[in-house]
């Protein structure tokens, strides 16, 4: 169940990205109703790529438990072998620890 919920869980998965893209582009179609099929597919692809890139970029960070890219079909979390990006929570902790270390001395 940890892979489904929690930080970097189902909302970072490939399935969620696809469902979200269909939902968002469907809402645009419902509101505008002048889309051609080509426009609908373009918006769906654009939203899918932007959503899935968030999960993939999170898998390149060094923080957290990993990303549940294959949730709900697999409960495992994914980290890429090369993690060149520092997670914000880790950066924040290092930044404030080094900044506040000399205060009061």
What tens digit of pLDDT does each residue of 13-23 get?
999 999 999 99
pLDDT tens-digit map of 70-102: 888 888 887 777 666 666 666 566 666 665 555
For the chain, domain boundaries: 10-100
pLDDT of residue 1: 47
Taking the C-alpha atoms of residue 58 and residue 52, their distance in angstroms, rounded to an integer, is 10
The structure tokens listed for 72 are 């709900």
Question: For residue 105, how far is the Cα from the chain centroid?
Answer: 41
pLDDT (0 to 100) of residue 29 = 84
Whether residue 3 is predicted with pLDDT greater than 60 in this model: the reply is: no
Alpha carbons 82 and 60: distance in angstroms, whole number: 7
């Amino acid at each position: 169940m940890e892979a489904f919920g929690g930080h970097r869980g189902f909302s970072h998965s490939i399935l969620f990205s696809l469902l979200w893209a269909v939902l968002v582009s469907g809402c645009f179609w419902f509101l505008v109703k002048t889309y051609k099929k080509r426009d609908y597919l373009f918006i769906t692809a654009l939203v899918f790529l932007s959503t899935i890139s968030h999960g993939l970029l999170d898998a390149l960070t060094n923080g957290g438990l990993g990303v549940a890219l294959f949730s709900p079909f697999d409960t495992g979390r994914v980290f890429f072998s090369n993690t060149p990006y520092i997670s914000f929570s880790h950066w924040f902790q290092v930044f404030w620890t080094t900044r506040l270390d000399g205060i009061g001395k």
